Amino acid sequence: MLHIEDLCAVRGQGNQAHHVYLPQLTLRPGEVMAITGESGCGKSTLLETIGLLLRPSKIGRFELTDNSQTLNIAALLNSDKQTELANIRARQLGFVLQNGGLLPYLTVQDNIRLPSQLLGTHPDKAMLNRIIEALKLAPLLAKYPAQLSFGERQRTAFARAIVHRPGLILADEPTAALDPFNAQQLFSLFIDLVSQEGMMALVVCHDRPLIQRFNLPVLVARFDQMSASPSEAQKGTYFVP
């Protein structure tokens, strides 16, 4: 499970600073939650902070439980334990970028295997085969990213994010450039895999019909919703259910 309380991240400085708040979040194994809001409201900032790419300015609770082991990420952040945080980022988190983020000089197969190789492990063969079959990647394994359509690159990116069995997958508008049919197909495959493997996922998504079709729980951006005073420290975007 994922538990986060009282998280604040800041992008920019001085009068240009934008504060992003997450009062509370609970995510359970098999669950996919969407993050929505206007452009520039801080969705990517929130995702980067949860993904340990951006250090929060404040954190009350941040725990990730996997295989009966609870990782107190808030304590590591507050103590600036960068080595331990990097290890959690590599082993427990999977990332899907808008453009796929594939390495152009690696084949589809090698791109998928890359996270496991960086961890010094081999992907579980049964898991790898399930992913390749579910995402219909078998005919593409020997191809390079430049030879793929955008949808094929995104399917490969999903496979790469999942194959090392992370506890939490973070996807930043992964279907934004896809037509509605392919976006729906990819979303369906992704949700099924997350559910089957008992993972969790946070997905930034602007496609409201897609979110409604799959009946996903949503974190919605609210500007200054909880401001108690006009002080600058209180202002920003709040993400609430």
Question: Where does the pLDDT of residue 171 fall: very low under 50, low under 70, confident under 90, or very high at 90 and above?
Answer: very high
Helix (H) or strand (E) holding 23: strand 18-27
CATH ID of 2-240, from 1.10.10.60, 3.30.110.30, 3.40.630.10, 3.40.50.300? 3.40.50.300
Assigned token pair, 85: 């945080």
Helix ranges (H only) for 104-165 are 108-118, 125-134, 150-162
Angle among Cα 62, 65, 70 to the nearest 5 degrees reads: 80
The domains of the chain are located at 2-240
User: What pTM did the predictor assign?
Assistant: 0.89
Question: Where does the pLDDT of residue 11 fall: very low under 50, low under 70, confident under 90, or very high at 90 and above?
Answer: confident
What is the predicted pLDDT for the residue at 181?
87
Q: What is the mean pLDDT of the chain?
A: 89
User: Which of 55-64, 70-79, 96-105, 134-143 has the lowest average pLDDT?
Assistant: 96-105
DSSP 8-state secondary structure symbol assigned to residue 162: H
CA atoms within 13 A on the CB side of 206: 13
Question: Where does the pLDDT of residue 30 fall: very low under 50, low under 70, confident under 90, or very high at 90 and above?
Answer: very high
**Whether 203 contacts 171, CB under 8 Å:** yes
Task: Indicate the burial class of 27 (C-beta count within 10 angstroms; 0-12, 13-18, 19 or more).
Answer: buried
200-204, strands of its sheet edge to edge: 69-72, 61-66, 2-11, 18-27, 237-240, 218-223, 32-36, 200-204, 168-172, 93-96
The DSSP-derived string for 53-109 is SS--SB-SEEEEEETTEEEEHHHHHHTT-HHHHHHHHHHHEEEE-TT----TTS-HH
What is the predicted pLDDT for the residue at 234?
52
